[in-house]
Structure 1
């Protein structure tokens, strides 16, 4: 019904995202043909921005996001016929709580994600993972929750109990970060990486050229790309940090910045 779908995506230059965007277009097409409600995999903010660039072209469908809690990083997009009332639609995501005798913050996000992926579940079916001091909450596609509850027995070598919880029971753990003040030559990505992690400019350039750096979840391959106050920068293998505040220019023309490095 949509004909040549490539025409809806020709403005998207990130070829790594084309397959994901085509899957979303397939959902739109099915809604248009069958008048059913469809929902996507969990998408990060960058992917959702790309989706909005073509979703708004279809007047016959409406859409909204679901992430389980306000400010969720990973969300699904629910697509439905324009004449349906959003308030009558069911939720297509759910949540589980993991409890154990160990200290949950002794493990990290990667440990919990790895354990769930080890069950054969794709990353796209998993939303935010919220690590608290005494338990962890995980947001998932609703249709895989029973499978996870039946099969997830350990996180690493530690036994764990899993139960389903209501979405309103989800709460965000307090952020753990270290704030540092640095002066940088400019707000270029390579300068900020060097300041945040104490690595050389050539080291920063290597991370960028090897595709390990994202700005607001968007892959960055140009060292001269400039960040703005509030931007989130992630480096695969090191973590993420935020350009929290730009504090002004020094007498020597450098920028003084506050950076939050998340643990």
Structure 2
């Protein structure tokens, strides 16, 4: 048994992730005691970063991440005794293709996720959902695959066909975004959010203080938080954007920036 688990969480400032990190500690304990291989739920990059800050404190276990493809946003962490080789372990992730009957469907990410949740599936065991014109590729825990193949027959109001695909056949969708060139008075979070989404400073401040904004997947409620070049910012019900580059100063002393707003 791990003694005094609280000490492994003392450095965590994001208290909203404590439950997830306690699960990671429980998984570590299972690996150590049972000499078994244990997989986490699907985690976003911020959650994985916090998990690694704990995992790296244990020399007798090793781990790797798997999301179905290299650039997956959501991935699981597979933990195992350090004397094993991860190349000898079974893959814990599967992928399915959900194809609509008619081409150029209006179904979106929310529709596919909603259909899965409607089957009683927990969000934590679903990875990325990649939506194309007439199909979606969904990454999930391999234990969930057969249940979905058997039960998923509609998404929204449309009938669908479902089949398993290999991870090598996952559709890699290129990011689509609108380039916005603008000037800002500073790199404060409220200033960047206001500029990107055409909001007043008052409105952007309310959104940030209302805990509806994440920077690099980490919830931020400080309007004065300084955004860095390359940071990914998501605003609930507004979308995502990236501060792609800082291009210098204008004649009036403002910062010229490029913002990529994802479509």
> Which TM-score band applies after superposition, normalised by the shorter structure?
over 0.9
- Tell me if 1:138 matches 2:134: no
Aligned residue in 2 for 1:72:
72
- Tell me if 1:168 matches 2:168: yes
Aligned residue in 2 for 1:218:
218
The CA RMSD measured in Å over matched residues stands at 1.0
C-alpha separation in 2, matches of 1:177 and 1:202: 26
SS of the residue 1:160 aligns to: strand
List gaps (5 residues or longer) in structure 2.
none
Q: TM-score, normalised by structure 1?
A: 0.97
User: Which has the larger displacement, 175-184 or 211-220?
Assistant: 175-184
Change (3 A) 1:99 1:216: same
Aligned residue in 2 for 1:7:
7
SS of the residue 1:181 aligns to: strand
Post-superposition, which runs of at least 4 consecutive aligned residues in structure 1 deviate over 4 A?
none
Q: TM-score, normalised by structure 2?
A: 0.97
Deviation track 1:80-133 (CA, whole Å, cap 9, x = no partner) reads 000001110111010000111234562221111111111111110010111122
Aligned residue in 2 for 1:206:
206
Deviation track 1:212-238 (CA, whole Å, cap 9, x = no partner) reads 000000000101111111110001111
Aligned residue in 2 for 1:48:
48
Aligned residue in 2 for 1:19:
19
SS of the residue 1:222 aligns to: coil
C-alpha separation in 2, matches of 1:62 and 1:180: 43
User: Which has the larger displacement, 132-141 or 21-30?
Assistant: 132-141
SS of the residue 2:74 aligns to: coil
C-alpha separation in 1, matches of 2:171 and 2:248: 35
Alignment coverage as a number of residue pairs: 263
